[in-house]
Structure 1
Amino acid sequence: MLFFLIWLYLWLRAFYVPLIYDEIATFYGYVHVGKFIPFYAHWDANNHIINSLLSYLSYSLFGSSGLALRLSNLIFVPLFFYYIYKISKELSDKILQWVFILSICCAHNFIEFFALSRGYGMSMALILGSVWYLIKVIKTNRLKHYLLCLISMILAVISNLTLLNSAIIIIGILILNIIYNYKADSFLKSLKLSASVLLLGVLPVIMFAKLLFVMREKELLYYGTTEGFWQLSVKTLIKLITGMNAHVIDYFVIFFFLIFCLIFVYLFIQKPNLKFFLNSNFVFMYLLLGNIFAVILLCKLFNINYPEDRTGLYFLPFFIGSICFMTDQLKRKLNHKIITLIVLPLLFFPIHFIYNLNLSFSSHENHRIPERFYEKVKAYYIPGETPPTVGGYRGRLMCWSYWNFKDGGNLCKIYSSDFPGLVEDFQIAILNENPEWLEYYDSIDYDKYSNFHLLKRKHFLKKLFITGKSGITSNGEIKNEYFNLLEKQVDTLTGKTLYIGYDLTIFSKQKPFKAWVVIAVSNKERENLRYEFIALDWLRTKWEGRQSNFINGMLVHDLPEDAYSIITYLWNVNKVPYLIKNGKCSLYEVY
């Protein structure tokens, strides 16, 4: 019943909680375009491959709703619960079994990842599956369990590349198990076991290690820093999971870490031999300590960033598993029930879960923009005219863009290059980000979860026509990567804010048509000074040539003193056929 209720809660969250920035970025970058295979897709760490694949299938069947995109993780929840339950049964004490289950399944900000369109949730289900089969390997040494352990492990890595270190540790334990049982096993069995580890473990790990190093060369392993394991990895994970920065939690983490390390040393002293190390009850501890050692080593040798908050999510189940299993080992050894009291602080998690129950916002990101904000701005949009302008911090870009995409893509993008500015017609903002806002804007709505106000300018700024171009046409279907729309010398307009309005008829058979309408401002040396764009595939999937199907515009804020020219063009990213006809482009000064 507990598992069912949590799963139901996750379904409700997937339905009601607005998509967060990374989910929408995944949708635009991989799901919408249907390209997610490494080396053939857009290069970015945001591509959690299995999540992108399953989300693409779900999107193709059910559309772009939040629930449809999050379905890929929801289907892994029963698998996650199954492995949690099976692993808990390895504990000899009922109290420890329940503490293990409750502290992982009721860690609200951890389990919440199963209601997001990201790879973290499914990867936790898969890595725990690998742990379960690794426990079975140590106990039975059967080929079936080797295969299931390796398959689960590789699927976990494909879902979340941060689990590569865990995969290497698991492979190491499997190899040690083969070596230890070599004399007892037949040569043929040892050969089969070794071949399975090589083909399903070592070779895939080498391939994914190569992928990660390519990403490192492309500077895509950008999340996190090298400032220190405790400060970056531990502290940010504590903040992510608990929502707090309380020092008392730090002390509990240190206490538990020292406790299970001391228990391990004590047990080893009691029975110092090789077989001691191949104990299935130590698997979580090996994964925890091995990952700590690995991330520190990678940082020192290759300057790879320490994992930060969600990229170190795997530390939580490994940490809780280590505490519960080492406590269980000590209880077995000393045969004292009171020893189980060590783990009682872990019951913080179910209490925290109840306190944080909500169907409104994500604990990991607070850039949610309520749909009603979008609707209120839309009320000022006049069809056939350029839409009102909206400003906001760049982290709010994706949420706004998603509402616009769902509604047909007729409104503008969020402008962040001048944030916190005073030019836009509307602002989505926290009031203390700019004390001047209340002088020029009225608050017309407020969201208590994100603390965002929707601000409307008391008097919209005016536009003074400077120049324009009409009759823009591609003269039939073309594949040109770049198509110029308007170019103008602007050295007499420095310090001004400009606006370019578009009225274009665009057609392309490509779905989606991945193209940007770009504005670039440069100096006499052709160095780029300003860059703005509207991504057409972020507005809608189909561009079927309906008359004036792109009526929009872009602001260019505060032209620098050395600005010389402004150009706006269409960038056909994938060089696919398209055409433009009956186009008009107008340049204005905003005042």
Structure 2
Amino acid sequence: MLKQLKQIIRNIDLVTVIIIALFLFTYTSYRAYNMSFTHDESYTYTRYIHGSVMEIISYNVGPVLPNNHILNTLGMKFFESLFGSSELVLRLTNLLGYLLYMIFCILILKKLKNPFLLVTGFIILNFNPFLLDFFTLARGYGLSISMMIISIYYFLKWLESNTSKHLSLTFIFGILSVLSNFTLLNYYIAIWAVYIICLLTESIKNKIKLKKISGHLFKKNIIPLAATIILGIILYEPIRKIVKGDQLFGGEESFWENTIGSLLSSSNYFQDYGAHFYSYSYSIISIILVIALIVSITEFIKNKFYITKTPALIILLILFISAFSTIIQNYLFKNEFLTHRTALFYIPLFWLTTIFALHFLIKIKIVKFIPYLFIIFLITALSYHLWHTMSVSFTLDWKYDAQTNEMIVDLEKEVN
């Protein structure tokens, strides 16, 4: 008994994270069980899930709308065939996705080998009410983030092992993230771009001749190329139909105003934190990104320009390139900037960037108390915010659907 107690104390960080994870999973599960089905979920259920698997994948069932988040729709179809059509069952795909999200967040954070960051980093990556909404709903947004986090984990594993297995898993889960929500194409582009950057820097470090670099790159890109061809075949018809039907939407001003601004607004979740909330938030985000950039470059130089040994720079590049991808699309094709839930995947990317930068700063003895103070402030603020926004009856984007179940019960009473 004493031996077991000592083991628990030695692993108090992991035990704490598991307790927090159990609380969050219980909370999201009860919400998935208790909340009324939203009209978007109902639309997916009535118009899409009763088509065949191939009809769902090729967008040959129901109206051509981005409402058909392929992997989510297939999950709804599968679980309904097993357990029926209750709210909880139809949302089970995203609940399981949340379980995977938490597990792989823990696995990524454990790579930092810092007990304090394991606990606080987990809180930072999970204590966002807007993010939690989409692990309780039968939509593809939360599921896409789960697949993205798994993909990032295996990419970090590839940095360590340089094996085809980990590279394949990186792109398999990259594909699944896109099939959950097409806006994750921006992540897919970013992870491939970062992979190529890794190959180029390693080629230069290993003094591979310029004439041989192209052949080296092609050979090393067989797995990503094969994955992209498969993804292209799957996505050709759905994207062609969506573009033809003019079903893309978003903001027209800028990435900063539309994407970041809308994520701040949604994450605020009906709370009033004063007139300066947005200006302070923009400033904090800017400072974090600048510090993350400086830290990443410093670590890159310290590691003698081995990018594969600089995970902070890898995460930052994924964030920057996925953001730059939407800016280029707006400039070249006039595509609107991602907003609110379509931009949701930037939240965990930003926080991962922050956590990896803080990890580097903590190792600098002279200033280590500053990141510790910032982390304590941050998790206190996030905990306070989550506590005051918790609800088991509605979500932010569909609050007006909160009383649908009560309305149906009242109608049944009227009829009977």
TM range (shorter): 0.7 to 0.9
CA contact (8 A) 1:130 1:153 kept: yes
Alignment counterpart, residue 226 of structure 1, candidates 245, 252, 266? 252
1:299 aligns with 2:325: no
1:31-83: per-residue Cα shift (whole Å, max 9, x none)?
24454122423321111101000101112222221111101111222211111
Task: Please name the residue that 2:57 is paired with.
Answer: 37
Which structure 2 segments of 5+ residues have no match?
1-18
1:282 aligns with 2:316: no
Task: Please name the residue that 1:308 is paired with.
Answer: 339
Alignment counterpart, residue 356 of structure 2, candidates 325, 331, 336? 325
Q: Distance in 2 between matches of 1:99 and 1:159?
A: 28
Q: Show the 5 A alignment for 1:416-455.
A: none
How far 1:15 moved relative to its partner?
0.6
Task: Please name the residue that 1:362 is paired with.
Answer: 395
Residue 114 of structure 1 aligns to a residue whose secondary structure is coil
How far 1:135 moved relative to its partner?
0.7
Q: Distance in 1 between matches of 2:202 and 2:229?
A: 20
How far 1:115 moved relative to its partner?
1.0
1:237 aligns with 2:237: no
Alignment counterpart, residue 374 of structure 1, candidates 388, 408, 411? 408
Q: Show the 5 A alignment for 1:403-418.
A: none
How far 1:158 moved relative to its partner?
0.8
How far 1:181 moved relative to its partner?
4.9
Q: Show the 5 A alignment for 1:60-139.
A: 60-139=81-160
How far 1:180 moved relative to its partner?
4.8
How far 1:166 moved relative to its partner?
0.8
Task: Please name the residue that 1:438 is paired with.
Answer: none
1:383-415: per-residue Cα shift (whole Å, max 9, x none)?
xxxxxxxxxxxxxxxxxxxxxxxxxxxxxxxxx
The residue type equivalent to 2:41 in the other structure is E
Q: Distance in 2 between matches of 1:55 and 1:5?
A: 25
Task: Please name the residue that 1:17 is paired with.
Answer: 35
Residue 219 of structure 1 aligns to a residue whose secondary structure is coil
Q: Distance in 2 between matches of 1:357 and 1:378?
A: 30
Q: Distance in 1 between matches of 2:366 and 2:118?
A: 17
Residue 156 of structure 1 aligns to a residue whose secondary structure is helix
CA contact (8 A) 1:103 1:350 kept: no
CA contact (8 A) 1:12 1:359 kept: yes
Alignment counterpart, residue 261 of structure 1, candidates 285, 293, 298? 293
Q: Which has more helix, going by share of residues?
A: 2
Task: Please name the residue that 1:350 is paired with.
Answer: 383
1:467-492: per-residue Cα shift (whole Å, max 9, x none)?
xxxxxxxxxxxxxxxxxxxxxxxxxx
TM-score by length of 1: 0.59
**Alpha carbons of 1:201 and 1:179: their partners in 2 closer, same or farther (altered >3 Å)?**
farther
Residue 56 of structure 2 aligns to a residue whose secondary structure is coil
1:414-469: per-residue Cα shift (whole Å, max 9, x none)?
xxxxxxxxxxxxxxxxxxxxxxxxxxxxxxxxxxxxxxxxxxxxxxxxxxxxxxxx
CA contact (8 A) 2:296 2:310 kept: no
Task: Please name the residue that 2:7 is paired with.
Answer: none
Q: Distance in 1 between matches of 2:226 and 2:409?
A: 54
Task: Please name the residue that 1:215 is paired with.
Answer: 242
Residue 76 of structure 1 aligns to a residue whose secondary structure is helix
CA contact (8 A) 1:133 1:149 kept: yes
Which of the pair has the greater relative contact order for Cα pairs under 8 Å at 6+ separation?
2
Residue 227 of structure 2 aligns to a residue whose secondary structure is helix
Q: Distance in 2 between matches of 1:312 and 1:370?
A: 27
The residue type equivalent to 2:118 in the other structure is Q
TM-score by length of 2: 0.82
**Alpha carbons of 1:174 and 1:229: their partners in 2 closer, same or farther (altered >3 Å)?**
closer
Task: Please name the residue that 2:45 is paired with.
Answer: 27
**Alpha carbons of 1:104 and 1:147: their partners in 2 closer, same or farther (altered >3 Å)?**
same
How far 1:353 moved relative to its partner?
2.0
Residue 19 of structure 1 aligns to a residue whose secondary structure is coil
How far 1:292 moved relative to its partner?
1.7
RMSD (CA atoms): 2.8
How far 1:184 moved relative to its partner?
10
CA contact (8 A) 1:99 1:346 kept: no
The residue type equivalent to 2:394 in the other structure is F
The residue type equivalent to 1:38 in the other structure is S
- Aligned residues, how many? 379
CA contact (8 A) 1:164 1:205 kept: no
1:84-131: per-residue Cα shift (whole Å, max 9, x none)?
001111224333332210011222221221111011111111100110
The residue type equivalent to 2:36 in the other structure is P
How far 1:326 moved relative to its partner?
1.2
The residue type equivalent to 1:161 in the other structure is F
CA contact (8 A) 2:198 2:307 kept: no
CA contact (8 A) 2:40 2:67 kept: yes
Q: Distance in 2 between matches of 1:227 and 1:210?
A: 29
**Alpha carbons of 1:309 and 1:116: their partners in 2 closer, same or farther (altered >3 Å)?**
same
CA contact (8 A) 2:198 2:308 kept: no
Task: Please name the residue that 2:3 is paired with.
Answer: none
1:59 aligns with 2:59: no
How far 1:210 moved relative to its partner?
7.2
The residue type equivalent to 1:288 in the other structure is L
Task: Please name the residue that 2:368 is paired with.
Answer: 337
Q: Distance in 2 between matches of 1:290 and 1:363?
A: 29
CA contact (8 A) 1:129 1:149 kept: yes
**Alpha carbons of 1:239 and 1:209: their partners in 2 closer, same or farther (altered >3 Å)?**
farther
The residue type equivalent to 1:36 in the other structure is I
CA contact (8 A) 1:260 1:322 kept: yes
How far 1:189 moved relative to its partner?
10
**Alpha carbons of 1:339 and 1:89: their partners in 2 closer, same or farther (altered >3 Å)?**
farther
Q: Distance in 2 between matches of 1:272 and 1:381?
A: 73
Which structure 1 segments of 5+ residues have no match?
383-591
